[in-house]
Amino acid sequence: MTSVMLSFERPLVMGILNVTPDSFAGDGVLAHENYVIAALNQASQMIEDGATILDIGGESSRPGADLIDSSEEKRRVVPVIRAIRKQHATTPLSVDTMKADVARAALEAGADIINDISALTFDPAMASIIVQHNAWVVLMHNRSQRNVVLQEAAWGPSYQAPDYKDVLGEVIGDLQEHIAFARSAGISQKRIILDPGIGFGKSVEQNLTLINHLDHLCALGYPVLIGTSRKNFIGRVLEVPVEERLEGTAATVVVALERGASLLRVHDVKFMARVVMMTEAIRKAGGDPS
């Protein structure tokens, strides 16, 4: 049973650790001959660079990616969790999965947080696993359909956006429904984190709107995680490929912080940890502006 306590008195940086062969960002470690050692080395570097939390994923959620079975997902992530937990005993570990049996194995191996991009809707057993282990959960907004994908040679694939009449209001409404379900299942209110699902079934404009008005989601009273790192909408705004989206990601991080985000899920930990530190220093600066 996890006993980790997270404090959101200051924004936390969550480092992305992809134990996959097909990450859209090209950073998956599964191709390494000893992927567990490669993952551990990457984890240690991210912690040194300023990550407070690590988010470990064994199944790609990139547009058009195929689902893998739970046994393969466990094969990928469980040894990595054990290795990181052994070397970094106090670092909170999150696992990016929609499957209850993967979540159970991950939590038993030492994970603390289940980052479920389906917000508990994919696997009906997920909520009970989280309750049994007293785990934290990230509830992400996601109306995307896994195989309804726009293929764009220049910027990469993206999930096609459903029709929204009011994207901000509907995202908040959907998340309120997910919260109600989680609470009814016995998940503690104090262990719920919200994620607006940037890039998951939203157009460029809808993604930008959600970031710009993130304070409305933060007003629900839960910590809010924002995951914009290297995503397609940044490439389309700046007209740059995935490897040139550092500055665009930084801009989204700064605005998200200004709007109240508590967790920043990123690939480039060293740079984004510095962005967070500098933004917070400016925000906390005193003195009479007159």
Which residues carry out catalysis? 231, 265
Distance CA(288)–CA(192), nearest Å, equals 38
Q: Are 182 and 140 in contact (CB under 8 A)?
A: no
DSSP class of residue 242 equals G
Two structure tokens written together for 230: 């290297």
Token pair 């993206």: residue:
158
Half-sphere exposure for 283 (CA within 13 Å, toward CB): 14
Closest of 13, 47, 191 to residue 116, by C-alpha? 191
Distance CA(226)–CA(138), nearest Å, equals 11
Closest of 247, 271, 272, 238 to residue 257, by C-alpha? 272
If 0-12 CB within 10 Å is exposed, 13-18 middle and 19+ buried, where does residue 69 land? Answer: exposed
For the beta carbon of residue 4, count every other beta carbon within 10 angstroms. Answer: 17
Q: Are 235 and 243 in contact (CB under 8 A)?
A: no
Token pair 């090209």: residue:
26
